Chain A
């Protein structure tokens, strides 16, 4: 039982490049979330999904897109990376019976 996994763990992008971060969970959870964490800012919600085929905007959605084609996967895309998107990205999931979230190990992204 791997829980929540994220791919890749580290990435360096140049401004304007695109990439996709993959989050996978094997707990059959309905809800999945993407956060970014910056120093002194805590966790900020980017997008979330309440089930397969659904997505919704969080607190800071601009510059990101997401897709939830399969229940176990939640993808976060950056179409044209900017230095302001340098951050640590965390994925999380939860069952629909509780608000307790389980977090992945994080992806450290640097945009130069």
Chain B
């Protein structure tokens, strides 16, 4: 069955810096999903990547998908405190399989 692994699990970064979260998955899939969760809140859909080479951007976040490498990345540009949250990637089997999440803390 599909396995999804994220790294790092925890990321502390300074405002203004760039960083990337990685999501590897174990079986062939042509789509990948990214979610954001704020503390004590539910999950909010960020990006839906539907094909190899797909790239989507929203503000300081950019997500990409390489189906051949079974890898998706979430790149953060010039981080701000408001981006502090837990980010999950998820891949489809007959249901979504979630990674364990990356807790991002942006320090002033």
Contacts and interface: CB of A to CB of B under 8 A. Distances in A.
Interface of A: 31, 33, 40-43, 45, 48, 58, 90, 92, 98-106
Question: Closest 6 CB pairs between A and B?
Answer: A99-B92, A42-B100, A103-B43, A43-B98, A103-B42, A105-B42
A45 B95 contact: yes
B88 A42 contact: yes
Interface string B3-45: 0000000000000000000000000000101000000011111
A66 B98 CA distance: 21
B47 to A, nearest CB: 10
A59 B46 CA distance: 24
A106 B95 contact: no
Nearest to A40: B100
B83 interface: no
Interface of B: 31, 33, 41-45, 48, 88, 90, 92, 95-96, 98-101
A104 B92 CA distance: 19
B95 A58 contact: yes
A41 B99 CA distance: 9
A33 B98 CA distance: 13
Contacts of B100: 40-42
Contacts of A43: 43, 88, 98
Given A99-B31, A99-B33, A42 B99 contact: yes
Contacts of B90: 101
Contacts of B31: 99
Contacts of B45: 100-102
Given A42-B99, A99-B96, A90 B43 contact: yes
A104 B44 CA distance: 10
